Amino acid sequence: MTFALAYPAIDPVLVQIGPFAIRWYALAYLAGLLLGWWYARTLASRPPRLVPVEAIDDFLMWATLGVVLGGRLGYVLFYKPGYYLDYPLQALQLWHGGMSFHGGLLGVVVAGVTFCARRRLRTLAFADLIFCAAPIGLCLGRIANFINGELAGRPTDVPWSMVFPGWGPLPRHPSQLYQAALEGALLFVILFLLWRIPAVRTRPGVLTGAFLVGYGIFRSFAELFREPDAHLGFIVGHVTMGQILSAPLVLIGLGFIIVMWRRGPATAP
Question: What's the pLDDT score for residue 2?
Answer: 60
Residue 92's pLDDT is 61
Q: Are 126 and 208 in contact (CB under 8 A)?
A: no
pLDDT at residue 51, rounded to an integer: 96
Neighbour tally for 65: CB within 10 Å = 13
The answer to whether the CB of 72 falls within 8 A of the CB of 94 is yes
pLDDT for 256: 97
pLDDT in tens, the chain (269 residues): 467 888 887 888 888 887 777 888 889 989 999 999 999 999 999 999 999 999 999 999 999 999 988 888 877 776 677 666 666 666 666 655 567 888 889 999 999 999 999 999 999 999 999 999 999 999 999 999 999 998 899 999 999 999 999 899 999 999 999 999 999 999 999 999 999 999 999 999 999 999 999 999 999 999 999 999 776 788 888 999 899 999 999 999 999 999 999 998 987 66
Amino acid at 107: G
pLDDT at 22: 81
C-alpha distances (whole Å) from 7 to each of 14, 97, 164, 247 are 18, 20, 6, 32
| pTM of the entire predicted model | 0.90
